[in-house]
Structure 1
């Protein structure tokens, strides 16, 4: 039966028809990088600038469903679960029943869990969300590993009954500041909206990528130990990105995924700043630009052609990367090649820089392998640790 609103609904459907095209946007690329690395992401921005629409595009690109949960209208029990008494609670305990959106995601096995209006959620709700974001637990249900967590928040000044995020919750997110582009809006209203493409991860690069990332982060924090953990003094900054061991682990994962995809430097820089904060993030980006370490796999393939860097932080970063590369695939040839690299540190007069690497490398030795000559420079440290005695 035709009603008086049928024509109106048809017109509305035509207005909503549009197409998409790929767009070069470093913010969107940073979002994709963090989501690919399965890191919780928090999009900050004023109301109405397209945060939710961007996530809908991302879900479409992933081919995954999106469950939207308005954090500000929920109670803590909605995330901690509601107690359901069974037949024998004294023996079986009292399980905490999860909400329907968590059950749907668990049944599907993947998807995007989108917490909207996070900055309007009161402190008690934020506390309940800690376990969801960090442990992926909703009541007695564990969300599948393939479920990605993304949140959106308005600055407290523009949020309805806005709150600053608690430091424990804020430190669990990669913070990305969202802004509208007038050109994108104009083109979108003309019928063409941007499409977010999910990059292909090159797994063949994984061993080298992980080794390089470990060396880079270790070298940077050795040069700047004060940035390992730095809780800001003011409440607003504590509710954003700041450096901690947890967020440096995020930075490590972002680097690995950057090395394994085609996402560019600007996207990486945006994501790193969103993980560890403006100050530490910008220092790390500058450090990465200046360091330019060689691929440890290439050096292991031909250690005789390698020249040790001059700077101490570069030396430490590279030696850490070499040892991490060997650890990813331990063979006698690779293990002996790494000792040849460490010998260059001894020849350069900096055996102390290589001492930690020598310690880790010695622990990988198969009992049947001969002790390399380069180990003589590290006799004291390895004897004190008991490793050299164990080596025979």
Structure 2
């Protein structure tokens, strides 16, 4: 699910607590896609405090409290980190992060809090919502399979990285324009989960935000900038970004909007345009004939061997429907002319 949709859903859950209709929500997603940041932003937008409990770092007693003797019986001291209407306010967000990385006994202690909004003598204030988050089992994090009784206490949503959502956040957050333009042309690099388990740095929405910081810190020192970017997003993505910055710059959306796209004169620039066009073609909605026609018009401006690469990808996406487009006929005529074949 896209971040904008998840944000709206979370906002409704915050409102629903006032009518007694709130259901605890579990937010799933791979590392680095912005689960924690999204929940924090929704809480800020609602003007509410958020208490972030990293359950993977807690012991069961941290939630249950410590026992002490009073009047000949054992009572439990309520942990100060749990929401309190007097200290924290009558409304807020209790965020149980890394819940499926918690020790089983910690997860067990959370059962009652999540379902019954209480834990022993402690009562969660009525205006507080419960949201949890965690990585999926296949993400190679330190996770436990969520027990069925705990899973059944949540509704479940999976957060997916989408380039438009990240670009909207990046513009609002004043991320370096070069970085925004690069990922706009290479959305396939927004998130690339590493195939090898021992890979430490890889592209993700979070690590690209780190790359933005690196650009600000090391822009005046090329010797430091390259290793700093590699440390953020990994070698492949970092070197592609550096090579892109050294190429003549263009805007793929502007080129696609032109009736007769004007390609760069140099070979490096033309290859850069082709790379960006191929990414667009691979992500093309087969029903979007206008977008396909724009890509065909662009293909007609390339040398035949380059344009044919783009058309082959369009054929994979549109199938036989490609041949019904007027722009395909125009490309075929241009390609035949460039090959010296009579139309």
> How does the TM-score come out when normalised to structure 1?
0.40
TM-score normalized by the length of structure 2: 0.45
